[in-house]
Structure formats: structure tokens, C-alpha cells
A and B are shown apart, each in its own frame.
Chain A
Amino acid sequence: MTRPVSLATKPQVALQSYLDGLLQDATEELEASPEVLDDFQAAVLEEQIRDARPEPKPVVAPAPAVAPVPRPVPAPVVIEPPAQVSAPAADIGVVAPVEPVVEVHRPVPPGAVPPAEVDGRPSWAAEPFECLLFDVAGLTLAVPLVCLGSIYSLAGHELTPLFGQPNWFLGILPSQAGNLKVLDTARWVMPDRYRDDFQQGLQYVISVQGYEWGLAVHQVSRSLRLDPSEIKWRSQRGQRPWLAGTVIEHMCALLDVSALAELIASGAVKQMQHLK
């Protein structure tokens, strides 16, 4: 599980493949021929077509006229390179609960609670926010720090599988914060292009704040500050409620991991047919 493996899929190819998958549902609605478009442009087009539908479009809340409540800017998260976080070799026998490599989540101070959801945007996206970029099977994904708990290294730790669970459930990782249920991120974000070797080389688990679920990832890269205007938000989240939008400048998808964890915790995921 923790063996580093050089994935055959190049990041760019994987990204294109992923975005192609995102478009799959909307392909029939696209009048333009999708093959002539760059995949990423097509993803944006999909959102534009959805936005252009004659449904009453909620008005985007204007920026507050008054100065916003001062909100402490979280310090950049420094991700230790894998070499520095590697567990002791030959750690056999009793396995201690895994300690977090990085505590990502920073509590929001009182009075700085973001406003309610606007235009399909999560509440944390009302103002510029910090994101963590990570790689899963060559695909770069972004998640808002406010939704994340800690980062745990899988080096020297085994996940305990449970029988009778769906194949996207990789197992349980005992951590200092309790037993973390780990999901196969690649199986969620690109189920149609999933390959079994994506389970190799998973190096970290990123826990979701407030939930006992974590996402298995191949690599954690860096943190990034995003302005909501940089993101092409998905106004309709019916099919993939956990996909908040796309970040064109950084060529990555923005995940709403809280929505994902809530989907799982609520049991609604059992009804989703595309997940075996």
C-alpha cells in the first residue's frame, strides 16, 4: 500500500482523462462537438451551458459595502517532503496509532463565520480561501483547508480492510484521533477510468474535519490561496455533490470534501449506482 510506484499515467494525460469523465454526463447536451475542444475548455463549457439554462438563476450576493470583519489569514501550511516524514524502517509488531504529519485545520475564530451558501458555492467560498493541492493517480485536486483535519503518512502503517464494504472503502487507519475510515479517492473522482494499480503508492491520508473519514492520496504538494472568482463553480451538484468546481489557472478540480463526507455519513451513498 505504501510502496512508491511510478504511475504510468502522466499528470496531464490523467487530468485530461478526468475532465473528460466530468463531461460525460453533459456530453449529450453539448451542441458543439466535444472532440474539437480541449478537455478543460469543454469542462468549462459544460458549466456555462448549465448556467445558461432558463432556470431562475440566483443572484450572486454583492460584495459587502462595508469592510469585512477582519479574519486572520491562516499561515501557509508547510508540507514535509516524504523523506522527512518516513516512519522507522522495519517497524514490526505492535503498530502505534499513526500520528499526523501536519495538522491542517485551523479553527475559525468566533465572528468570522462565513455566510450561508450562495449560488451553489459552499459557505467557505465567500472570501478568498486557502487550499491544499494533492495528487491522486496523477490528477491534481484542490481541497479547502477549512474542510481538512490532518495529514497522516501511510509509511509503516497498514489499513485494515473490512469485509462486505464497497470497493471504494480501503480500510481503517488507527490514528491518534481515533479510527479513520479511508476511502479510495481515485475510485470516487474517476470511477470510469479507475485502474487497480491506483491503489499502489498511496502515501498519505487526509482527514476531513468533523468526520471520521479520510482520503487516500499519492502525494501532497502545496497550499494555495484561491479567490472565489478564479473558480468555475458548478451551479448544479446533483450528480457529483462533492465536486465544487474547476480551477482553470491551476488546471485542477476543487473538491468539497465536507459534502463528500456528509454524503457517506448520511448513508445516501448506498443509493448511488455508479459506485459499485
Chain B
Amino acid sequence: MKKSSAQGSEDPILQWVTFRLDNESYGINVMQVQEVLRYTEIAPVPGAPSYVLGIINLRGNVVTVIDTRQRFGLMPADVSDNTRIVIIEADKQVVGILVDSVAEVVYLRQSEVETAPNVGNEESAKFIQGVCNKNGELLILVELDKMMTEEEWSELESI
């Protein structure tokens, strides 16, 4: 995680890229974000797992795009002008995640991040790293590496 000016202090400042899904705000570690793309056509991959929307051509490289809504247990939504594909690096792989929109980069002190309730049995509950109040709204921080199991990351690699 990036530690900016407060590096080395006991309360490091972390940077998070925020995006929206279904009217809620989520944050991912800025160090894992490579770039943010406007929506481009995603080519479906026959036989791919349900959480894979398909692949895109990113300057000659094939990048798999994950259906973030499906992963988060949310209903599908139509693509809009604000829809973005965030290219991230997680579990040593470069993948894209489809989001409703990308908002900004925020700075959060480690001490501002609260743990999420540990009451869910579902797999998806495990990749909520914490929550934080920022600019008057609640930001849900996502741990990208845990967004998929080891098997699923391996499966992605083989697409």
C-alpha cells in the first residue's frame, strides 16, 4: 500500500481510487490500479466462468474483464456514459473490473478505516477490507486480491 508523506509514521496515509456501483461508493488501493478506460466492447469468451464478462484488447494485450456487480452480489445494470473499466493488478495478474463510474482518488489515514462487520458467511463478505467515512458518505474498501479464490485466479489466468 502506498504510504505518502506520512510514511514511517504510525498512522500512514493511504490513497484509494473510488468508484460507484449501485449507488454505493467503493475504494481500491491506488497502487493496484493501472489505468481507467472508457467502456469499450467486451468480447465474450465461450465457456468462461459466470463472473467473467469477456476480454478486451488493450494496446495489443488481452485483458479479462470481471463482472464486478455479479461478484458483489448486485443486480446487472445497463452500460452508461459513465461506465468504466478499471485495469487493476491483483494476484500478479492484470484484469479489468467493470464499474458504474469512477469518482476520485481519496487520502485516508489508516486510523480512519474501520473494520467491516464480521457476520457474513458468504465469500463476497471476505473482500471487504473495511469502511470509512469520507466527504460525508461511507466508503467501502475492497481488498482486490481476495475478490476471487486461488482457484478462480488460476482459472482467470488460463482464459
Query: Measuring CB to CB, which residues of chain A are less than 8 angstroms from any residue of chain B?
Result: 93-97, 160-166, 169, 172, 174, 178-179, 181, 264, 267, 269-270
Contacts and interface: CB of A to CB of B under 8 A. Distances in A.
Return the 8 tightest CB-CB contacts between A and B, nearest first.
A164-B125, A94-B136, A164-B124, A160-B138, A164-B122, A163-B72, A165-B120, A164-B120
A163 B74 contact: yes
Contact of A174 (B74, B116, B124, B133): B133
B82 to A, nearest CB: 19
23 contacts: A96-B136, A161-B24, A162-B116, A162-B117, A162-B125, A162-B131, A163-B72, A163-B74, A163-B124, A163-B125, A164-B72, A164-B73, A164-B122, A164-B124, A164-B126, A165-B117, A166-B121, A169-B120, A178-B114, A179-B131, A179-B133, A267-B119, A270-B121
Contacts of B131: 160, 162, 172, 179
B118 interface: yes
Contacts of A169: 117, 119-120
Contact of B73 (A163, A174, A270): A163
A181 B72 contact: no
A179 B114 contact: yes
A179 B133 CA distance: 8
A165 B137 CA distance: 20
Contacts of A172: 131, 138
Nearest to A268: B119
A94 B135 CA distance: 7
Contacts of B133: 97, 174, 179
B140 interface: yes
A165 B138 contact: no
B125 A165 contact: yes
User: Which residue, A97, A166, A179, A181, has most C-beta atoms of chain B within 10 A?
Assistant: A179
B55 interface: no
